Amino acid sequence: RQRRAAPEPVTYLICLHERAALAEAEQLGDLAARRGAVVSSLQETAARSQAGVTAFLDAQRAQGKVADYRSYWVFNGLAVDGDLDTALALAQRPEVAALRPNRRHTLPAPQPGASDAASGSQVAWNISRIGADRVWSALGVTGKGIVVANMDSGVDWTHPALQRKYRGYNPSDPSASTHDYNWFDATGTYPSAPGPNRPRISAQSDHGTHTMGTIVGSEADGSNAIGVAPGAQWIAAKVFDDQGQSTDEWLHAGFQWGLAPTDLNGQNPDPSRAPDVVNNSWGDDDGTLDTFVQDVAAWRAGGIFSTWAAGNHGPDPGTVGAPASYPIAFAVGSVDDEDAISSFSSRGPSPWGVLKPDVVAPGEGIRSSMAGGTYEGGWRGTSMATPHVTGLVALLWEAADHALTVTETERMITIPAVDLGAVGADNIYGYGRIDAFETVASVRGGVFAGRVTDAASDLPVEGASILMRNLDTSASMRTESESDGSYSFRVASGLYDVSATKFGYEDALVRQIEIRAKTTTQLDFGLVARPSGTIEGYVRSVSDAQPVSSMVYLLGTTGKISVDASGHYRLVAPAGTYTVQVRPEVPGYRG
């Protein structure tokens, strides 16, 4: 009788219940100390909570049931190459929260588009569109002192637009350049130095070189100005192979290296050498996928800003992918050279209940660096839009001398974004197209703050829209008042017209408010309520008269309200004529 061969081991991931307590480390002001404390907490939690699992796996390996396993502290889990019996036994252990397949992911292939025929001596159109070149010339800010990274398909470190910006580069002797702590290849394709550096291997093999070019690219003589932050340094993690394929484990490994880079042997992790901002022009089509929530949270706790491509599955709503869909991720959509949303750009809302994308940036007809030392235009995708925001963070952090938190950075990018859709943020454009000049100029400007109240009762008015319009540049900034009525901006010095609007109140406008550098200017608004009435009723099913969970809108206004458990709604609105629309929030009903 022929003997059946034992099945090949399958790689799967184990996720443990315990999470590291990072709140105390997040409060540390010194960035190096903060990252060190975050890594120490993650490592200690993983070592302690994984001890029982690793002892079991060692025993299983001795019996030939496990070929190998690898421990990760960034998400407190392990990757196991083992058999089904071992997987079933692990699932029963109390410290194990979940077993997951080692899912595969494909890097989005560049979508063909119109080629950018601009001369290499000119600043790329997309760089000018967001005002990055004005940041260099008028503000003298180029990203100097900031370290950027990408998790992608690799980078041609010898490219003339990139080589001298590589952190490991030795200009006096390139052969003595240092790749320890500056390069990581989860795929094992280029273990000794960044790659690929030969012409196109596949549709995705140039992807990482192209995205890095949009972040930092330019040649020594100033030609081929394709990058937003040409003064920044870069490092990279290759987590997609040359055919654009990756796995959950490779991506987890890239996250871990990003928080504490290692030498080329994967040893001696050092969080002090972590990048400041990481570009992620990839994602899973399933916006509900929570595989990388802990990884993104660990980066954020360590003060690492990460940018995420929203995805290329528009124009339908709810198409944003993960991790871009996470509330803690900063998602980027794509617009064309006329600031119109790209048809392919994925839309929100996020399945996590938040608005997405956060902002948009140029993502069509993008010219950038290619492996092998060349350039190519015409690339399109949210992968191409995302590096613009990564470069903007580098500019902003240089101007702020590294003094901004991730949350503060998000706010400073979204407030001056150019509003392109409906008034205010939406699930197509987010807060709007990024404006690098207004964002960076605001660091050297002043603070504008105040409080919005009801003129009659003096009670705070929450959700009032505060709009500032710069009289010199016509740039506008928008925010909303908080629950206590307060609001604040950090804006460039200059003269502004400021308005406050809220549904149910008369608009208020104050002209020519002067903002001075390093000065706080206070302006309070007392809004006058308009004569109003009430619209109320019930939303019920025609078939059985049961309440239907819904939102009720007054079209053409910001007036809206959810029905209660009985289906009842009550909206106070200024006197006038309205069209009332009901949008059911459960399937099977038409509004």
Give buried/exposed letters for 115-140 (b at 16+ CB in 10 A, else e): ebebeeeebbebbebbbbbbbbeebe
Indicate if 210 belongs to the active site: no
Which of these, 153, 162, 215, lies nearest to 189 by C-alpha position? 153
Record the tokens describing residue 463, joined without a space. Answer: 């959700």
Record the tokens describing residue 143, joined without a space. Answer: 């990203």
The distance between the two most distant Cα atoms of the chain, rounded to a whole number of Å, is 94
Catalytic pick from 105, 159, 179, 207?
A: 207
> DSSP per residue over 519-586, as a string?
-EEE--EEEPBPPEEEEEEE-B-TTT--B--EEEEETTSS-EEE--TTSEEEEEEESS---EEEEESS
Catalytic pick from 383, 481, 499, 550?
A: 383
d(Cα 307, Cα 214) in Å, to the nearest integer?
Answer: 13
HSE (CB half, 13 Å, CA atoms) of 431?
Answer: 20
Do 346 and 313 meet the contact criterion of CB atoms below 8 Å apart? Answer: yes
Record the tokens describing residue 118, joined without a space. Answer: 């601009």
d(Cα 297, Cα 400) in Å, to the nearest integer?
Answer: 23
Catalytic pick from 83, 116, 133, 152?
A: 152
Indicate if 284 belongs to the active site: no
d(Cα 33, Cα 24) in Å, to the nearest integer?
Answer: 12
Q: How far is CA 476 from the centre of its chain?
A: 23
Length of the chain: 591
Query: Residues with catalytic annotation?
Result: 152, 207, 383
